[in-house]
Chain A
Amino acid sequence: MKVEVIPWVLLLSMQLSLAAITATATVSNTAPSISNIWITETTGTPVSSLDPATEYYIIVNVTDSNSLKDIENITLTLYNNSLNSPDSTRYHYTFKFDNDTLSFSEIGPGNTHLITADCSYPTLTNVYGNYTFAIRLNETAIPSTWVLWVNVTDSAGNKVSKNVTFSVNEYISASLDDSSLTFSGSPGTNDVPASENPTVVTVKSNVNFSIQVKGSGDFVGSTDSSFTIPLSYLTFDDDSTPSESTETGLAEKSCDTVYQILYSNVGYGYNVAKNIYWFLDIPNGILAQEYTTTIYVGVFSA
């Protein structure tokens, strides 16, 4: 009897164990891919050259068969020198999207070149989508050919990269702290300084530049235009002493209707400040009245 019972017990236990089997599917991790990279204006127009101090979108289209949740991070490196060089406003920028914190950040060179409010990421349950980095290069970014290197890393440590080239355009921006000049003095007085002295020229530029001065013509009397002061009686200098016995800096120059260079080949930079001191010789024999002209300050690439 015992002998017959054992097979039933075995069968029963087999049935019980079969009912407890669970199906397990192991999904392997596949490497992501970068389908495309676009650089566009904020209007969506694709561009291949970038103006400094202007916002652009870098759009990275990423595909991952494990869904975009699998993406660990995306790193953008924009450089003119080499990929692993340190970040700098002139040559190298690094930006990152971190999937853990779902945040965009600027690794370097500062914290003003990524406009995080305009960055966006796709629905992460999708297998592909666009990551948008809103960037703005510094005013001193070198005008040359650059590389945009994109690196995508997934949770398994798979890394893919892709790069495109673009160029950066020349940029010059200048500011003056004066919008007019005022000279007051008696006839026969030389080197009357402008009450605004000095006029400070502040320049942001990615190229070397010169600062030049010209005038539209002679100073003309506002009530009696038959009286004038020659334009050449207006002089300008880089220091407050118009004619030192031994000139310490740049020599004083006379104003003309064509540009005269005061500062030449000034190095590019951010907020490079240069002074212009103005002086006027007031000739004898002219009426007491206001005399006017227009003085041009030109800031031009060297």
Chain B
Amino acid sequence: MSLTEAPTPVQNIDAFLEQDQRKGLLRFTTAGSVDDGKSTLIGRLLFDSRGVYEDQLAAVRDSTLNRSSGPIDFSLLTDGLRAEREQGITIDVAYRYFATPKRKFIIADTPGHEQYTRNMATGASTADLAIVLVDARNGVLPQSRRHAFIAALLGIPQIVVAVNKMDLVDFSAEVFARIRDEFDAHLKRLGIPSAYFIPVSALEGDNVIVRSPKTPWYQGESLLERLESVPLDDGSTERPVRFPVQYVIRPDLDFRGYAGQLVSGIVRPGDPVMVLPSGRTSRVKSIVSWEGDLPEAFAPMPATVCLDDELDVSRGDMLVHPARMPHVSRHFEALIVWMSEQPLKLDQPYLIKHTTQQLTATITSLLHRVDVNTLDEAPADRLELNEIGRVAIETARPLFFDAYTSNRATGSFIVIDPIGNGTVAAGMIQEPRREPGADRAARAALLELEFQASRLTPAERYARAGHRPATIWLTARQDLAYLLERRLFQRGCQVHVIAEEVESRILPEIASLLSAVGLITIFSGSNLDAAECERARARVGSERFFHFDPENLATSDERAAEQILAVLEDRDVLPRTRFTEQEGI
């Protein structure tokens, strides 16, 4: 194709618009150094797909820094800023656009040097596909491995390996096969089962837009064909509903809508939802939009959701399906890419932005550092610019998250320096390890149980157990709690003490659940605060909730236990079989 060739005339604009309107959008990332022909490849995709306009080409020809000896240097189309043009390297993420009759494409174009891991990660974070370039003459070099690693780390679903400069190895099938086998083994180690390998010459255009006659031994698609045919479905609609509330729309007293982007799942009017962190549940009343009420919203649509009940929901809250909860915790582990000149500081306050929440957090430990070239994990006491490490993080408030590998939107976060305000790291939350005692997955499962409604009635439970459920809130009197548990047990009650330091935010949910199954539960942690106490009272009902102020109880555990038992009898939790009053204590 030459510059002077006339553009395809548009025969029928209505047909064009109709076709154009149905296009999907594919975002892909490229990485590579000045030498491996990445800019040439992109230039050719843009140019041959007619995304480059004549006058921009003219500006490239006029450029005083044109390094090209040939008629046109495609790489000058993609190197943007003055500083870069002067240095002859691309130093940042540049976004390019082109379209074919089948799809619109957004390219996040990043340099491939080791010091630009940060940029590669940025480009990869939104990509559906990564093109990893390999120079056919040099085989698989560290930078290709690095790019593949970052693509895997950032969870890019599709990988295409373009083995470039095939013209310089005489389009050898053997060279291609050797590189493919070697790289494929590496990719499998990274958990990428099926990358797509294409032999190309970006300079000469072989297998870029159309299949080349010079590689008769290659039966696959050209690069553009691959980009046009790769599945766009990332499975986000199949995943559990996650709707982080961005903004509350309240034009008047009659309307209260929760606006946000549905990051996974499908929501329809009538669906049950739980609001995190309050744990309150309701149903979707309507999904409001400019175009009218919608029968459904699916990820990644923006939506404005109205609920059946008047709940207190604000930005940072998340609507989820009550039976498919995310993890709720202040503690998690993550892989982070460090992006700042200032190295990581442990135990210093940072800010974390996760979905629509921004909160204070500290990175409590650096578990190991990952070598981006060898994938080796090694203990480390520092994490510096462009390094990747696994860390443990503690947040000031609970986060509602999924592992990054199961949900990119609820598993990702950025770390912000609260002094300099810069973005210093990007993080991918790891699946929580199963810990005995404080098992978070089990905790989430506990919360789910509540909504799988039992078919036993409270009356049936009462008839069997001989007592009613109760939630007893004692603060920091563990000995009393265990004594009371023993006394109640001796009287034939189903009773349980929760004395350990449980996530205080979900204590009300636990209380509600245990109350629903008929238990008498005694909470005696030291971290019980007034707000949680009130929320627990609201959830289990005030007639089933007993908050004992330490000042009103006897200091002797024995006596205090008697006082509490008396109250429980008085309030019909326990049958009145006692005679302590007659004894006149």
A is bound by B: no
